Amino acid sequence: MSEIEAENKEPESRIRILEAATRLFGRKGYHASTIENITHAAGISRGALYWHFKSKSEVLAAVVERLQREYLDRFIEETMQVGPSAAERLSHIFRFNARFAVENVDLVHCLRTLSLELSPSEDDHVEAFFSVLSRQREFIVSLINDGQNEGVVRDDIDANMLAAVILAVHDGILHQWTAFRSLWKGKDLAQAFRQVTLDGLARTGRFASPPQSQPTSGTTEPTESVD
């Protein structure tokens, strides 16, 4: 490891705090998770936590930054790497989210739980979380607008409304995936969600997904349900 890499590497204790907090915020919620819960789950002392963070609110800020970096930035970057048409990109967002849900269970639970529990007025760090949600929604709206301009997405419903429906159904699918995973394979549920939602977006009533150019990191369907 180079000197620069060593300087930029996060301390192991900080990583353990963020992983524990992400998991707890997703399972218990932010308000129900205490500093004691986080330190116990991370296997560290209170002093070690306070070395990195002054408060639980600062822990939340770091988790939000992680959500932006590991989820939202990747979501946008990979989608924009897929072919230039809106149809390709809209189809890809469902593939990305299905894959991400399987590979990053704790982050997905955290994103969903915080969005249900928190209010933007609570503090600046909570407001930053809602900025992540807003950026996600605005990106999807932009793809829908592109699809409407290309004539592949229905234009009888406002793009903002269509984006809200996509995100709402996506959250419901995650709940079904988690609560009733014994009833179906994750891959089958993801495919059904994608096709039904895309067909609902289509101007013609049937969304024809073109062959996709693969983004740099590759795209796969989930093969198992979220634990």
pLDDT tens for the 227 residues of the chain, in order: 333 333 446 789 999 999 999 999 999 999 999 999 999 999 999 999 999 999 999 999 999 999 999 999 999 999 999 989 999 999 999 999 989 988 998 998 899 899 989 988 888 889 999 999 999 999 999 999 999 999 999 999 999 999 999 999 888 887 787 778 778 777 888 888 888 999 999 998 778 655 555 554 444 444 444 43
- By the 8 A CB rule, do 117 and 29 touch? yes
pLDDT of residue 9: 61
- By the 8 A CB rule, do 73 and 172 touch? no
The token pair that represents 42 in the structure block: 């991370």
Instruction: Give the predicted TM-score (pTM) of the model.
Output: 0.82
pLDDT of residue 170: 87
